């Protein structure tokens, strides 16, 4: 297979689900990885699999809400590989499903906004500082179709992901002149622990989620990973500021 990420140093937050699948795709394409997660075991499992396949990966425990930990994460990637070519800011939470806004409480607001939105901002902040010293870099943030349209069951999550799209667009404008590209990926439903835990694994629920795609199925995590790897690579050299739907046609209607 071609290896468009050969030798590139790439940081990924979120070591399960989409983050794990993206790590595998990036490693197959030659990237050297730092995988970070609040649950160290998830990051370690992903890094161990990459290493077992002959790739390079290190794991780190990081809470993306904590500026000092995020700064240390970027410093660790640079200490390990000498530079930071790419970053996939993907760690996130769904929050309660089916609870409408009038019933949400402030703890739910803070948890979702702090991880999904503040976490992405802190990651970009520290990554961009490093990339400015290099004069190059590519960042992909995980938004969602929930960053493009509203959904009834997850109002605060939708607000957080619209925020990620906004941050992505502004950051792309601010740093394009410095050789840094910044995009977001917007998946529809993907077969990960988040969906199974949030919506339940019952076949009738999975079938209902599948109807949102014109392909009548939810995505495999690697299908998101393939798009992220492309956005991180030099093949996407003229692409920036884009919320990129990987949603099986959900938002085409
Ligand atoms: N699965 C879907 O259908 C779907 C669709 C659109 C967008 N997304 C987004 O994709 C991203 C990845 O989700 P996933 O589906 O792979 O779910 P997942 O639960 O498998 O992965 C999320 C990871 O983020 C980690 N995490 C949570 N809080 C953290 C924190 N404070 N610091 C560091 N790590 C933390 C979790 O431990 C977990 O490993 C999320 O941002 C999610 O909102 C998922």
For the stretch 124-156, pLDDT in tens is 999 999 999 999 999 999 999 999 999 999 999
Global pTM reads: 0.98
| 186 in contact with ligand 1, CB cutoff 6 A | no
Whole-angstrom distance, CA of residue 235 vs CA of residue 83: 20
Tokens at 60, concatenated: 């780190």
116 CA from centroid of ligand 1 (Å): 9
Dump pLDDT digits (tens) for 43-76: 999 999 999 999 999 999 999 999 999 999 999 9
135 CA from centroid of ligand 1 (Å): 29
Q: Whose CA is nearest to atom 42 of ligand 1?
A: 92
Catalytic residues: 157
pLDDT confidence of residue 55? 98
pLDDT confidence of residue 132? 98
pLDDT confidence of residue 70? 99
Residues 6+ apart with CB under 8 A from 226: 25
Whole-angstrom distance, CA of residue 150 vs CA of residue 205: 19
Residue boundaries of the structural domains of the chain: 9-248
Q: Which CATH superfamily is domain 9-248 in?
A: NAD(P)-binding Rossmann-like Domain (3.40.50.720)
Return the ligand 1 atom nearest residue 21 CA. Answer: 16
Dump pLDDT digits (tens) for 143-197: 999 999 999 999 999 999 999 999 999 999 999 999 999 999 999 999 999 998 9
Closest alpha carbon to 9 in 59, 78, 71, 89: 78
| 42 in contact with ligand 1, CB cutoff 6 A | yes
Per the CB < 8 A criterion, the answer to whether 10 and 26 are in contact is: yes
Residues 6+ apart with CB under 8 A from 253: none
194 CA from centroid of ligand 1 (Å): 7
Mean of pLDDT over the chain: 97
Proportion of the chain above pLDDT 90, given as a percent: 94
| 147 in contact with ligand 1, CB cutoff 6 A | no
Positive or negative, the CA dihedral 191, 192, 198, 201 is: positive
| 18 in contact with ligand 1, CB cutoff 6 A | yes
């Amino acid at each position: 297979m071609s290896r468009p990420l050969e030798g590139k140093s790439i940081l990924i937050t979120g070591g399960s689900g989409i983050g794990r699948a993206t790590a595998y795709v990036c490693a197959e394409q030659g990237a050297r990885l730092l995988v970070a997660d609040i649950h160290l075991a998830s990051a370690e499992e992903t890094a161990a699999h990459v290493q077992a396949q002959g790739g390079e990966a290190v794991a780190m425990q990081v809470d993306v809400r904590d500026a000092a930990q995020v700064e240390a994460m970027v410093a660790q990637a640079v200490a390990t590989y000498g530079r930071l070519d790419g970053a996939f800011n993907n760690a996130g939470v769904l929050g309660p499903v089916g609870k409408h806004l009038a019933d949400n409480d402030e703890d739910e607001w803070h948890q979702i906004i702090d991880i999904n939105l503040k976490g992405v901002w802190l990651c970009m902040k520290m990554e961009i500082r490093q990339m400015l010293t290099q004069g190059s870099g590519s960042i992909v943030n995980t938004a969602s179709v929930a960053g493009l349209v509203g959904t009834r069951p997850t109002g605060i999550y939708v607000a957080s992901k619209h925020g990620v799209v906004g941050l992505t667009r502004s950051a792309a404008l601010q740093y394009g002149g410095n050789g840094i590209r910044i995009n977001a990926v917007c998946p529809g439903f993907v077969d990960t622990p988040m969906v199974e835990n949030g919506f339940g694994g019952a076949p009738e629920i999975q079938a209902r989620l599948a109807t949102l795609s014109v392909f009548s199925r939810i995505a495999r995590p690697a299908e998101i990973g393939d798009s992220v790897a492309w956005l991180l690579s030099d093949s996407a050299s003229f692409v920036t500021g884009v919320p990129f739907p990987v949603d099986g046609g959900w938002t085409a209607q």
